[in-house]
Amino acid sequence: MSFLEINLKKLTHNYKSIRSLLEPRVKMIGVVKANAYGSAVDVIAKKLVSLGIDALAVAYTNEGVALRRAGIQIPVIVFYPQVHNFKKIIEQQLEPALYSKRSWLKFISIVKETRNSNYPIHVKYNTGLNRIGFNPNDIDWVIAELKHSPIQLKSIYSHLGASEARRPDQKTDSQIDLFKKIISKHKKNATEKIDFHLLNTSGIFNYPNYHLDWVRTGIGLYGFANQFDWNKRLKPIATLKTTITQIHKISKGMTVGYNCGWTASNDTQIAVIPLGHADGIARHYGHGKGWVLINGKKAPMVGNICMDMTMVEIGQISCKEGSEVIVFGTKGRADDLAEDSGTISYELLSGLSSRISRKVVE
C-alpha cells in the first residue's frame, strides 16, 4: 500500500518558525490551495486555525467551498475567482481577490443583486509577474469605484515574480518600487485603513523590510523555503511511503519497461513499486532521473514510468518483496527528487493523486 504520511508536529514547527520572523502586528495568510499542496486540506486547515492563522487562501472557489463544508469559519481568500462563481462566493462568505475591471463590475453587480453591503474583497495589482491583476494604470479607476461600491476593501496586494532570487534583483526591486507607489496613492485617497501585502514564502525570508500588514505563506508551511539556509530550518511535513511489489533478476542486455526504455549494462536486480504517473510520479522521471530510498540507500528509477508502476534498480541493496520504500520525506527530500528531473517541489507535491492514502501523524 502507498500512503502519504502527514506530520502535524512538523507543520506546527514550520508555522512557528515563520511566525517568529514577523512583528506581532503582521498577519499571516496560510495558502492551502491544491489540497494544501498535495497533502490533506481539511486536516491542514483545521490545524492552522488552531495555531492562530489569521486567514486562509485558495486558488479557486470550489476549494473555498470545501473549507466551509469542513467547518472552517475564518476568512478564506479566493485568489483567482472566476466570474461565473461569484454568487457561490457570496453564498459561502468567501473573500474574492478582484483583478480586473470585468471581475470588479461583475462582482459589484452580484453584491447589489443579492442585497449585500460592505462585502469583504481584496484587490490584486499586476506589478510585473504578468499573470493576473489590475494594470497599475487602472489605479484611478479603482479608487473612484471604491468610493461608491458596496464593498469592504480588506487588502491590496501584488505578487513578486522572483522573490527567491539572490539580492539585489533588479526585477524584484522594480516590482517593489511600483507597489510602493500603489500603496502611497491608495493611502492618500483612502477614507479607512487599508492593509497591504506583497510577500510569499521566499519574500518573507529575503525581504524583511516589506512584510507590510500581511504575508502569504504556502510552501514554507509544508517545509520548503527555496533557499538553502532556510531549508535546513524548516521540516517537510509529508513522507511518501510504499512497498516493493516484486523483485526481478535482470541479466546484462535485458530491457525494462515500455518501449524497452532501459537496458541493463550489467547483471542486476530491479524492484517494482506500486506508484506511477497516475499517482503523480510523472514520466519525466525514469531513465536514471529520480530515485527512491530502500533501507537508506538510493535506488534509481529506470525505464519509462508506467501508469501504475515504477521500476527501480536495487542492485545489491538488501531488501525483499514487501520491504518499505521511501519516495520522499525528511532524508530524501521532495525538492531534491524534483530537482533531479528538472522540476520543482510544488509540482511533485501538488500532483499527488487521491489514489494515495493520507495518514496523519499528530
How far apart are the two ends of the chain, measured CA to CA in Å?
Answer: 21
Q: What is the mean pLDDT of residues 291-300?
A: 97
Q: What is the mean pLDDT of residues 295-310?
A: 97
157 assigned to active site: no
Per-residue pLDDT, 229 = 81
Name the β-bridge partners of 7: 361
Per-residue pLDDT, 171 = 94
**CATH number of the domain residue 155 falls in:** 3.20.20.10
119 lies in which domain range?
8-231
Q: Does residue 274 belong to any structural domain of this protein? A: yes
Cell of 174: 522594480
Q: Does residue 72 belong to any structural domain of this protein? A: yes
Q: What is the mean pLDDT of residues 314-321?
A: 97
CA-nearest of 66, 79, 69, 68 to 30 is 79
DSSP reduced 3-state for 155: strand
Q: Does residue 76 belong to any structural domain of this protein? A: yes
DSSP state letter for 259: G
In this structure, are strands 262-263 and 324-328 parallel, antiparallel, or unpaired? unpaired
Cell of 312: 527501480
pTM, two decimal places: 0.95
DSSP reduced 3-state for 270: strand
List pLDDT tens digits, range 212-242: 999 999 999 999 998 878 888 999 999 999 9
Q: Does residue 118 belong to any structural domain of this protein? A: yes
96 and 212 co-located in one domain:
yes
* Confidence check: pLDDT of 339 > 80: yes
Per-residue pLDDT, 175 = 97
- Among residues 172, 206, 231, the one where a domain terminates is 231
Q: Does residue 308 belong to any structural domain of this protein? A: yes
Say how far apart CA 285 and CA 266 lie, in whole Å: 21
* Confidence check: pLDDT of 125 > 90: yes
CA-nearest of 286, 232, 299, 290 to 260 is 286
Q: What are phi and psi of 139, to 5 degrees?
A: -60, -40
**CATH number of the domain residue 333 falls in:** 2.40.37.10
169 and 196 co-located in one domain:
yes
* Confidence check: pLDDT of 112 > 90: yes
120 and 163 co-located in one domain:
yes
Per-residue pLDDT, 249 = 97
* Confidence check: pLDDT of 11 > 80: yes
Q: Structurally, how many domains does the chain consist of?
A: 2
33 assigned to active site: yes
Which region among 40-44, 109-113, 229-233, 358-362 has the lowest average model confidence (pLDDT)?
229-233
Long-range Cβ contacts of 292-296 (<8 Å, 24+ apart): 292/325, 292/326, 292/327, 292/332, 293/325, 293/326, 293/327, 293/329, 293/331, 293/332, 294/244, 294/319, 294/323, 294/324, 294/325, 294/326, 295/319, 295/323, 296/331
Q: Does residue 38 belong to any structural domain of this protein? A: yes
Q: What are phi and psi of 39, to 5 degrees?
A: -95, -100
Annotated catalytic residue: which of 252, 258, 298, 331? Answer: 258
Per-residue pLDDT, 288 = 81
DSSP reduced 3-state for 52: coil
Are residues 201 and 220 in contact, defined by beta-carbon separation less than 8 angstroms? yes
* Confidence check: pLDDT of 1 > 90: no
Annotated catalytic residue: which of 10, 15, 27, 33? Answer: 33
* Confidence check: pLDDT of 274 > 80: yes
In this structure, are strands 76-78 and 255-256 parallel, antiparallel, or unpaired? unpaired
352 and 214 co-located in one domain:
no
300 and 195 co-located in one domain:
no
Helices (H), the chain: 8-19, 33-38, 41-51, 61-69, 86-91, 101-113, 139-146, 170-189, 201-206, 228-231, 334-340, 345-350
DSSP reduced 3-state for 222: coil
Are residues 302 and 312 in contact, defined by beta-carbon separation less than 8 angstroms? yes
Are residues 39 and 72 in contact, defined by beta-carbon separation less than 8 angstroms? no
Distances from the Cα of 271 to the Cα of 140, 233, 241, 263, 264, angstroms: 63, 34, 15, 15, 14
